[in-house]
Amino acid sequence: MDKKRKGLRFGSGFYLTLIMLFFYVPILYVVVFSFNNSKSLTSFTGFSLMWYEKMFANRTMMESIYYTVLVAVIATVVSTVVGTITAIGLSKSRRLVREVVTQINNLPVMNPDIVTAISLMLFFISINMKTGLLTLILAHITFCIPYVILSIMPKLRQLDDNVAEAALDLGATPWQALTKVIIPQIKDAILSGALIAFSMSFDDFVISFFTTGPGINNISIYVYTMYKRINPSINALSSLIILVIATVLVIVNVVPMLKNRKKREIEA
């Protein structure tokens, strides 16, 4: 029995290790080859920072980072604000209105990206709108809001209806009830909605590809237009993104963990 259990534990550890390798080998590969001193993606010929230098010297590449972040930040802020307001509004709307809006709201989530992208492109063309940063941002806001709403709605449903009424009862105006009572309670859901929106925008390729205009590329589009030729600068760019995101995620996840432990230690 003991032996069997040990075997099982080893088996499960082995399997999980394999899965993790599957996830991380490519990432490691990108990072390693970003330090290669030749253009080869198959053999590591020596350490160098040349691809990083080239990346920083490449204005289009740097601009793509800039636009990615700019669009993601604007889209996140706008979609979070609009999404929050809408979600609260919907939770107090008539059932029919709520159902219809939710169904339409689900469209960009359920529809393949490419369909959403094309529909937006056709729309911008038909109203004679020059594609560019503005259309890109509008498109991003459009596909981010649904995720914010989807993340806030369940939390709103859990909310005790009486709590908002209690605020009114105690003399708060509807606006005060909103800002002082409802929003503080769904703060976490709003934040996670914002995070989802940010990552969706940051990650998007298809919709951006069809709705952007001259000179406005995000990282995805840049990688896509560049992938045909071996270009280790892309590796450098990827490594940089991986580094930033890994750092942020580790901080976000580990700091509260450490804090909790410290708290526990103090309490104990």
Q: Which of residues 56-95 bind another protein (CB under 8 A)?
A: 56-57, 59-60, 62-63, 65-66, 68-70, 72-73, 82-83, 85-86, 88-94
Q: How far is the CB of 150 from another protein (least distance, A)?
A: 13
- The DSSP output letter for 131 is P
User: What Rg, from alpha-carbon coordinates, does the chain have?
Assistant: 24
**Nearest-angstrom CA–CA distance, 30 and 38:** 14
Q: Which of residues 223-262 bind another protein (CB under 8 A)?
A: 223-230, 234-235, 237-238, 240-242, 244-249, 251-253, 255-257
CA angle 157, 159, 162 (to 5 degrees): 120
* Smallest separation, CB 35 to another protein (Å): 13
Full DSSP string of 27-72: HHHHHHHHTBSSS-SS----B--HHHHHHHH-HHHHHHHHHHHHHH
Alpha-carbon gap, residue 228 to 189, rounded angstroms? 41
User: Which residue from 71, 144, 145, 153 is in contact with another protein, where contact means CB under 8 A?
Assistant: 145
Q: According to CB under 8 A, which one of 198, 201, 233, 236 is a site residue for another protein?
A: 198
Interface with another protein, residue 49, by CB under 8 A: no
Site size toward another protein (CB under 8 A) is: 138
20-39 positions binding another protein, by CB under 8 A? 20, 22-27, 29-30, 33
* Rounded Cα–Cα distance for residues 193 and 15 (Å): 33
Nearest to residue 80, comparing CAs of 218, 204, 188? Answer: 188
Nearer to another protein (CB atom), residue 47 or residue 247: 247
CB of 76 to another protein, least distance (A): 9
Window 116-135: residues binding another protein (CB under 8 A)? 116, 118-126, 128-132
Contact 45, 39 (CB under 8 A): no
For another protein, the closer CB: 46 or 214: 214
- Rounded Cα distance, 217 and 70, in Å: 11
Contacts of 118 (CB under 8 A, 6+ apart): 210
Half-sphere exposure of 106 (CA within 13 A, CB side): 7
Measured distance between the N- and C-terminal CA atoms of the chain, rounded to whole angstroms: 37
- The reply on whether position 53 binds another protein by CB under 8 A is no
* C-beta separation of 71 from 140 below 8 A: yes
Instruction: Report, in Å, the least distance between residue 215 CB and another protein.
Output: 2
Closest contact distance (angstroms) between CB of 199 and another protein is: 6
What track of x and - describes contact with another protein for positions 96 through 115 (by CB under 8 A)? -x---x--xx-xx-xxxxxx
Closer CB to another protein, residue 37 or residue 56?
56
Which residues are within 8 A (CB) of 86 and not within 5 positions of it... i.e. 6 or more apart? 101, 145, 149
Closest approach of Cβ 121 to another protein, in Å? 6
What is the closest distance, in whole angstroms, from the C-beta atom of residue 90 to another protein in the complex? 5
Q: Which is nearer to another protein, 47 or 244 (CB)?
A: 244
